[in-house]
Structure 1
Amino acid sequence: MTASVFEPWNDPEAKPLIHFQNVTKRFGEFTAIDNLTIDIYEREFYALLGPSGCGKTTLMRMLAGFETPTEGKIFLAGQDIAPVPPNKRAVNMMFQSYALFPHLSIWENIAFGLKREGMPKHDINDRVEEMLRLTRLEKFARRKPHQISGGQRQRVALARSLAKAPKLLLLDEPLGALDKKLRQDTQFELMDIQEKTGTTFVIVTHDQEEAMTVASRVAVMDHGKIVQVATPDRIYETPNSVYVADFIGDVNLIEGTVRPNGGGSYAMSWREGQPPLNVQSGNEFSDGQKAHLAIRPEKVSISAEKPAAADNAVQGRILDIAYLGNISTYHVELPTGAVIKAQTANTRRIARRDFTWEDSVWLSWTATAGVLLAE
């Protein structure tokens, strides 16, 4: 039996856990959130991704109850949560600073919220032990926060947030203070814990790699609006705008005008003296319409000779090489002055690299390699 795919957003019967209905939030003259409607489903790991100031933290603070919408409504499990104070919501928020109590042990930090709620002592013991096991912190229960590492403190904050079994856990840049390697390890731990507990996670991050790794769906934000919501692979492979294509990963953006050739095929005129590019697109464009071709560097091949049967081939010289261990990115300048990036996997030792600076090379890609975007 194959595992069922988790895609409640494609099920017309599924009821969202969180529903934002035409929510606007203004601070004086400034509109932080602009008429936003979104659904987040139970057991989903939902990432809000965008540059600083795009409104993602405001959105999260409204869910937590620290801000109220200027207009519109927010529903949690069908209930309008506007009148519900933060401490009465089935929502917990984990901050970037972790905010642990320095004088309390790890065990006491995790138990703190449960004691305040007046949970019976033996239940507290069981719950804290369960959280310590879940976050693999059993050995550190008696230590104070300053006696453990940043990554471990992060797990304590997570254990404390999950101890009260919230319906929803909000994570505001939770891995911001960790170094790259630890962050990557912790991302997988987060996913593992989220899956084991079945809690709905909403994470705010400006780190696209993080969002792409952990999330079931990514919502890309810009100026208080959500520009696109989709699974990470769809966001990467079929962005709906130049903004999303440019924000996620590395991309070449070629601007030009298109002429339809029938059957979803287009000829794109882009630079004087260059033959038009052949592009296949599911989106419809009219004759002479301005468009952008977004093409990922790993979909551009680099070769010394002109490829015999390529849909698109352009010649240029290597301006720069970024060596990233597993891959190399070549910045190739065309005679027109345009620079196109091509990426190759380094399967061989670096001493045997095929191309170097100033070499003349051919870049080629298929008609379906890129996405044609209107804006």
Structure 2
Amino acid sequence: MAQPANRPVFAPWDDPEEKPLIRFQNVTKRFGEFTAIDNITIDIFRREFFALLGPSGCGKTTLMRMLAGFETPTEGKILLDGVDLAPIPPNRRETNMMFQSYALFPHLSVWDNIAFGLKRSDMAKDKIPARVEEMLRLTRLEKFAKRKPHQISGGQRQRVALARSLAKAPKLLLLDEPLGALDKKLRQDTQFELMDIQEKTGTTFVIVTHDQEEAMTVASRVAVMNHGEMIQVDTPDRIYEHPKSVYVADFIGDVNIIEGTVDTLEGDKAAIVWAEGQPPINATVTESVTRGQKVHFAVRPEKVAIAATRPEGRANVIQGKVIDIAYLGNISTYKVEVAGGLMVKAQVANERRLSRRDITWEDEVWLSFTDTAGVVLLS
């Protein structure tokens, strides 16, 4: 029986021959004394779904507005397909922007909203209906073509705005918190629709979001930003499993961060002293550390096992007391107080009904994890 061919890995950023679609070259943006973007250099490639992620005020929207042409860099250049964008006005750029508010015309039908930009473009009038129908099919809105925006749901309005943004086949689509107005379930469904549409059209998407889950779901790469800088740019799995700093580890998902000092080093194995009278944490190091160096050990709650009796054969075992339990349906998170008053979270899949749970509040428990479960961070 023939084996199915492996799906090719999409990673143009790893190919030195690949030319980027967008290039930020030492871009800085100041508003008076305030530096919103601080000397950023980054390449974004064709067909990427690139996420700018960070808290409010980190500079992600300013970066997007510079791509759209609503702001200009104070220093540096932004190139699209090798062309400097600085002299090109927003309406002449091969980019389009989809806003959180959708900005649909309430008096126009879905069909006319999608056709609006095309009617003002260079496209021949006789080709416009076919293009609109193509966009309706792509976004599964054929049945709603004659309706007005107020006659369709929030998720459908979001798809109309997306269809209108893609109708002119831009090289780059900018999405500013596009799912912010949707409820959680619809938001999750729409994330997968966005990914599907992006893949079908081959358009490069750049999305601004403060929602970590959203960025991790849709993006081929994520740029975690803070104070106008890109702290780490990487694939979602590497951002989550191999954060380069305490900030990234703490910002993405749930994490336990334990401060300590490197006591012994042997190859890539380190013993980290973290509390008086406690056995050291055995960890694997990827960066160069030295004996006596202060470090942070970051381990995700789902990588920490919890048991009522001391487990055997685990590299790290810590005793503690259950202070709190959060039941989230599919998982439960246990908040456990260990030596020095430190709170450590352990996450467990709920394979049993609650009535059969053998660990509850105030129980003495044992937490354990392997020596490769966490990462050792210097800052």
Fold in common (TM above 0.5):
yes
One-letter identity of the residue aligned with 2:299? I
1:276 aligns with 2:241: no
Query: Which whole-Å CA distance do the structure 1 matches of 2:206 and 2:339 have between them?
Result: 47
Counterpart selection for 1:139 from 136, 143, 156: 143
1:345 aligns with 2:345: no
Query: Which whole-Å CA distance do the structure 1 matches of 2:87 and 2:57 have between them?
Result: 27
CA contact (8 A) 2:278 2:339 kept: no
Counterpart selection for 2:15 from 7, 11, 14: 11
CA contact (8 A) 2:326 2:334 kept: yes
Aligned to 2:36: 32
CA shift digits 1:304-328 (9 cap, x unpaired): 1111221111111100000010000
Query: Which whole-Å CA distance do the structure 2 matches of 1:354 and 1:44 have between them?
Result: 46
1:247 aligns with 2:251: yes
Query: Which whole-Å CA distance do the structure 1 matches of 2:364 and 2:114 have between them?
Result: 61
1:312 aligns with 2:316: yes
Query: Which whole-Å CA distance do the structure 2 matches of 1:97 and 1:244 have between them?
Result: 29
Counterpart selection for 2:92 from 85, 88, 103: 88
Query: Which whole-Å CA distance do the structure 2 matches of 1:90 and 1:277 have between them?
Result: 53
What TM-score do the two structures reach when normalised by structure 2?
Answer: 0.98
- For residue 234 of structure 1, give the secondary structure of its aligned residue in structure 2: helix
Aligned positions of 1:18-167 closer than 5 A = 18-167=22-171
Counterpart selection for 1:289 from 293, 298, 309: 293
What TM-score do the two structures reach when normalised by structure 1?
Answer: 0.99
Query: Which whole-Å CA distance do the structure 2 matches of 1:364 and 1:258 have between them?
Result: 20
Q: CA RMSD in A?
A: 0.7
Aligned to 2:365: 361
Unmatched tracts of structure 2, length 5 or more: none
Count the aligned residue pairs. 375
- Comparing 115-124 and 38-47, the one that deviates more: 115-124
Unmatched tracts of structure 1, length 5 or more: none
Query: Which whole-Å CA distance do the structure 1 matches of 2:44 and 2:316 have between them?
Result: 41
CA contact (8 A) 1:47 1:217 kept: yes
Query: Which whole-Å CA distance do the structure 2 matches of 1:273 and 1:230 have between them?
Result: 38
1:193 aligns with 2:190: no
One-letter identity of the residue aligned with 1:79? V
Query: Which whole-Å CA distance do the structure 1 matches of 2:122 and 2:64 have between them?
Result: 28
- For residue 227 of structure 1, give the secondary structure of its aligned residue in structure 2: strand
- For residue 321 of structure 1, give the secondary structure of its aligned residue in structure 2: strand
CA contact (8 A) 2:275 2:339 kept: no
CA shift digits 1:53-83 (9 cap, x unpaired): 0000000000000000000000000000100
CA shift digits 1:14-52 (9 cap, x unpaired): 000000000000000000000000000000000000000
- For residue 336 of structure 1, give the secondary structure of its aligned residue in structure 2: helix
CA contact (8 A) 2:265 2:290 kept: no
CA contact (8 A) 1:63 1:74 kept: yes
One-letter identity of the residue aligned with 1:101? F
- For residue 341 of structure 2, give the secondary structure of its aligned residue in structure 1: coil
Give the CA deviation at 1:261: 2.5
1:177 aligns with 2:181: yes
- For residue 340 of structure 2, give the secondary structure of its aligned residue in structure 1: coil
Give the CA deviation at 1:272: 1.4
CA shift digits 1:84-122 (9 cap, x unpaired): 000000000000000000000000000000001152222
1:261 aligns with 2:261: no
Q: 4+ runs of 1 displaced by more than 3 Å?
A: none
